[in-house]
Chains A and B, each alone.
Chain A
Amino acid sequence: MKRRLSIFLAVFVLAANICVRAQTNTEVEARKAALDLAGAFTNDGFKIRDGHWCGTIKPHDHALIAVNLYAGNQYWFSAGATEQAKKIAVRVYDESGKQVTTEGYNAGEKAAAGFSPTNSGQYFVSVDLVEGQEGSFCLVYSYK
């Protein structure tokens, strides 16, 4: 009985580890997609900030993060998601919650929004799952 229990526990622990690893892998995949997209902006002199934000998004829902930006700089926010996410969108809001007009790029599970703030301060960036199933996403940003 004890042996069966220990085998069960070993299998459970292994399965749990695989699940955790799989989740990490999807975030790595999403991060790679985001960095691929952000890499294109480096041709235009944008520096990719060495930091990222990963998480999970559900259909017709969004994930929201606060950023602090400086007037005078130009920014691109690039997001990547796993394949289950058929279409994502990146939107930027000012400190009052009003959506900011941005230039955008959309290609299925990759999307980016770019703008030059005229005021320094807090902004909010949302990653929206427009079409597809729940999955991992990752956001990075570039500035110049």
Chain B
Amino acid sequence: MICLQRLGAIGVMGIIFVSAGAEIGRLPADQLAKAVRSDSISIPTPGELFAALEKPGKTNWSGQYRGPMSMTYRDRAQIALNLGGLIADGFIAVEAKDSQQVKNIGSDIIKLSKALGVSENLLSRGNSINEFAEHDEWDTLQEELEATQNEVKSSMQSHSDQDLVILVSLGGWVRGTQVVSAAILQNYDERSAKVLRQPALVSLIQSKVGEISPELRSDPLVKNVSEQLAGIGKLVSFPIGKAPSVDEVRKVNEAIGKVMEEIENKAIAK
């Protein structure tokens, strides 16, 4: 039950209630199909995923770090995918409350963004990230990372790089899922494992990737990643209420790890 102790701050005019059984209704399938699906609301941030993983018990966040990332990618699609992954790394460092790691990642985010030509306003974000990290302001840092990701995306939109936006989200989701599945394998708990059930999210990402320009879709890396999403979609389609087994989590981790390797691999992009 959500704690509402401090909701009085809203004011006395409001009434808090629990919706009664009589009000419970149902929406027909055609209305559900027409629902809006937007990048800014329908695709969760890595921070949301990590918050859910953290609930049943402590997670070894620093154990999920990876080595330094190449900053010399040339392919724009590959840079966008890696930028998404790097932002997810930033969320991991915030969860680990590791200020030096946050600063390193913040600096890498600016470098990769520069390679895409979207860094003009990001320099101040980089400075803020450093400042918040130095003062251990972890909640603010998480907000700053999310704001940085959104600023990168809006900058892409204003530079007619709309197609790269979904690749940033995709890169973040791949890295987030890799980390979460690895953490679950290290310390299996049914409640944690339930966060991996996301068939509609994979399907949404697939459909958004399907909307990008044919030229970008034919990029070898985008094509490869896109093809593997279908298989991953099946792996994360667990029945409602059933937590995936250790074996099922391992399969997700292996499949997503393969995608992550390709995203990081300098040889695969054109």
**Are A and B associated in one complex?**
yes
Interface residues of A (CB under 8 A from B): 37, 40-41, 43-44, 47-53, 55, 63-74, 76, 91, 93, 95-99, 101-108, 110, 113-116, 118-122, 124, 126, 139, 141, 143-144
A contacts with B: majority SS: strand
Residues of B within 8 A of A118 (CB): 241
Q: Are A103 and B16 in contact (CB-based, < 8 A)?
A: yes
Least CB distance from A41 to B in Å reads: 7
Tell me how far the C-beta of A132 lies from the nearest C-beta in chain B, rounded to whole angstroms: 17
| CB atoms of B51 and A143 under 8 A apart | yes
Question: Cβ of A124 and Cβ of B1 under 8 Å apart?
Answer: no
B41 to A44, Cβ gap below 8 A? no
For the complex, count residues of B whose C-beta is within 8 A of A. 65
The stretch from B22-30, B110-118, B260-268 touching chain A is B22-30
- Using A97-B31, A114-B2 as known contacts, say yes or no to A106 and B201 having CB atoms under 8 A apart: no
In Å, the complex CA distance between A67 and B48 comes to 12
- Are A47 and B143 interface neighbours, CB within 8 A? yes
Question: Which residue of chain B has its CB nearest to the CB of A48?
Answer: B143
Instruction: Give bound CA distance, A144 to B54, whole Å.
Output: 10
Residue in A64, A69, A108, A139 whose CB lies within 8 Å of B27: A64
- Give A50 to B151 CA distance when docked, in angstroms: 10
- Does B194 contact A101, Cβ atoms closer than 8 Å? no
Q: How far is the CB of A106 from chain B (nearest CB, A)?
A: 6
Q: Contacts A99-B25, A143-B48 given: A44-B3 contact, CB under 8 Å?
A: yes
Q: Shortest CB–CB separation between residue B38 and chain A, in angstroms? A: 6
Partner of A105, one of B14, B41, B45, B195: B14
Instruction: Closest A residue to B55 by CB, please name it.
Output: A72
**Residues of chain B with a CB closer than 8 A to A49's CB:** 41, 45, 48, 146
Set of chain B residues within 8 Å of A53, measured between Cβ atoms: 36, 38, 40-41
Question: Which residues of chain A come closer than 8 Å to B51, judged between CB atoms?
Answer: 47, 70, 72-73, 143-144
Give complex CA distance A132, B52 in Å.
38
Whether B4 contacts A103 by the Cβ 8 Å rule is yes
A143 — which chain B residues lie within 8 A by C-beta?
Answer: 48, 51
- Report how far A112 CA is from B55 CA in the complex, Å: 24
- Specify the chain A residue showing the minimal Cβ separation from B43: A68
Q: Which residues of A contact B31 (CB under 8 A)?
A: 64, 97
A70 touches B49 (CB 8 A): yes
Q: Is B213 an interface residue (CB 8 A)?
A: no
